[in-house]
């Protein structure tokens, strides 16, 4: 059993980050939300409806998903990757094209330059931007991000954090981010939950969580405090 007795309410429009070490059950929790996994016991409600009752394909098209490996399709162009879910939803080609351009501009890529490029020709940071654009293309109310910036160098990551906050201010999605990096969680989320061995140890606003004395939370905070200690 990966998760036990998890009781989690996520409000519309908030950004919640789930932090924990590898194997804590973070990714499983994400997959429960978009129906890639159905719980053995208990219920997951999305927009007030049990994921068992959703048509899984309809549900997933309403939920943006960004993976650490990104998973851009190498046989498609950047534009085709971004326009994929609108295509699944049966949008008109013209509407898809203008939406793709809009999304690329949103993540800071010039559509004239990038839309026609093979997805494989991009740098790591550019791919991650395209991954975000693809997740947002069909304007889903919910966005799930699984270690979205984990594979990037610190400078690019910091840049994408700023971009994310700008985009989130613009689009106001309900966002669930999974990460093992408390600094990233603090930088992006309105609330941060700590997952440990399949249980939510603590869930609070960053400011409150930073003062936690819980032995399951402290080790995750330590790198953050050390970094602050060496700062002038």
Partner 1 sequence: MTLLRFLAEHHDEVLRLLLQHVVLVGLSTAVAVAIGVPVGILAARRPRAGAPIVWLANVVQTIPSLAMFGFLLPLPLIGGLGARVAIFVLILYALLPIVRTTVAGVSGVDRTLVEAATALGMTPQQLLWQVELPLALPSIVAGIRVAAVIGVGTATIAAAVGAGGLGEYIFRGLSMVDPTVILAGAVPAAALALSVDGGLLLAERVMRSASPRRRALAGWTAAGLSACVIVAASSAFGSASGGDVIRVGSKNFTEQIILGEIVAQHLERRTGVSVQRRLNLGGTFICDRALRSGDIDVYVEYTGTADTAVFKDAVESDPARVLTRVREKYAQGGLTVLPPLGFDNTFAILVRGEDARTHGLRTIEDAARWTPSARAGFGYEFLQRADGYPGLSEKYGLRFAAPPRAMDLSLIYRALAERQVDLIAGDATSGLIEAYNLVMLQDNRRYFPPYDAVPVARSAMLLRVPAARAALEALAGRIPVDEMRRMNHAVDAGHADPAAVARAFLARLERERPSGG
Site map for partner 1, 68-107, x if CB under 8 A?
-xxx-xxxxx--x---xx--x-------------------
User: For the chain, first and last CA: distance in Å?
Assistant: 45
The yes or no reply on residue 134 touching partner 1 (CB under 8 A) is: yes
Stretch touching partner 1 by CB under 8 A, among 18-26, 57-65, 153-161, 164-172: 57-65
CA distances to 71, 85, 96, 190 from 90, in Å: 22, 9, 9, 34
The yes or no reply on residue 151 touching partner 1 (CB under 8 A) is: no
- What are the phi and psi torsion angles at 21 (to 5°)? -80, 175
The yes or no reply on residue 221 touching partner 1 (CB under 8 A) is: no
Rounded distance, CA 3 to CA 150, Å?
23
The yes or no reply on residue 67 touching partner 1 (CB under 8 A) is: yes
Query: Which residues, in sequence order, are CB contacts of 108 under 8 Å at separation 6+?
Result: 129, 163
The yes or no reply on residue 142 touching partner 1 (CB under 8 A) is: no
User: How many of the other CB atoms lie within 10 Å of CB of 195?
Assistant: 25
How many residues contact partner 1, by CB under 8 A? Answer: 22
Instruction: Rule CB under 8 A: choose which of 57, 124, 214, 219 binds partner 1.
Output: 57
CB of 221 to partner 1, least distance (A): 31
The yes or no reply on residue 117 touching partner 1 (CB under 8 A) is: no
The yes or no reply on residue 34 touching partner 1 (CB under 8 A) is: yes
Stretch touching partner 1 by CB under 8 A, among 62-70, 164-172, 180-188, 212-220: 62-70
CB of 217 to partner 1, least distance (A): 29
CB of 3 to partner 1, least distance (A): 18
By CB neighbour count within 10 A (0-12 exposed, 13-18 middle, 19+ buried), where does 147 fall? buried
The yes or no reply on residue 54 touching partner 1 (CB under 8 A) is: no
**Strand stretches in 55-117, DSSP E:** 63-66
The yes or no reply on residue 58 touching partner 1 (CB under 8 A) is: yes
**Strand stretches in the chain, DSSP E:** 15-19, 45-46, 49-50, 63-66, 142-146, 174-179, 191-196, 199-204
Find the helix or strand (DSSP H, E) in which 87 lies: helix 84-88
Binding site for partner 1 (CB under 8 A): 34, 36, 57-61, 65, 67, 69-71, 73-77, 80, 84-85, 88, 134
């Amino acid at each position: 059993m990966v998760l036990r007795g998890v009781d989690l309410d996520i409000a519309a429009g908030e950004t919640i980050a789930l932090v924990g070490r590898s194997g804590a059950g973070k990714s499983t929790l994400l997959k429960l939300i978009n129906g890639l996994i159905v719980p053995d016991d208990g219920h997951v409600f999305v927009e007030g409806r049990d994921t068992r009752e959703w048509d899984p394909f309809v549900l997933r098209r309403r939920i943006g998903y960004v993976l650490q490996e990104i998973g851009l399709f190498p046989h498609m162009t950047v534009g085709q990757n971004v326009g994929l879910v609108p295509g699944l939803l049966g949008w008109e080609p013209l509407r898809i094209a203008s939406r793709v351009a809009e999304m690329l501009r949103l993540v800071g890529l010039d559509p004239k330059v990038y839309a026609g490029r093979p997805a494989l020709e991009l740098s790591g940071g550019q791919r991650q931007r395209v991954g975000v654009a693809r997740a947002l293309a069909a304007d889903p109310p919910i966005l799930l991000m699984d270690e979205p910036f984990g594979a990037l160098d610190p400078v690019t990551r910091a840049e994408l954090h700023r971009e994310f906050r700008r985009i989130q201010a613009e689009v106001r999605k309900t966002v669930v981010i999974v990460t093992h990096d408390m600094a990233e969680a603090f930088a992006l989320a309105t609330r941060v939950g700590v997952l440990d061995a399949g249980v939510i140890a603590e869930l609070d606003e960053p400011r409150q969580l930073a003062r936690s004395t819980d032995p399951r939370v402290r080790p995750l905070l330590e790198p953050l405090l050390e970094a602050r200690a060496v700062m002038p």
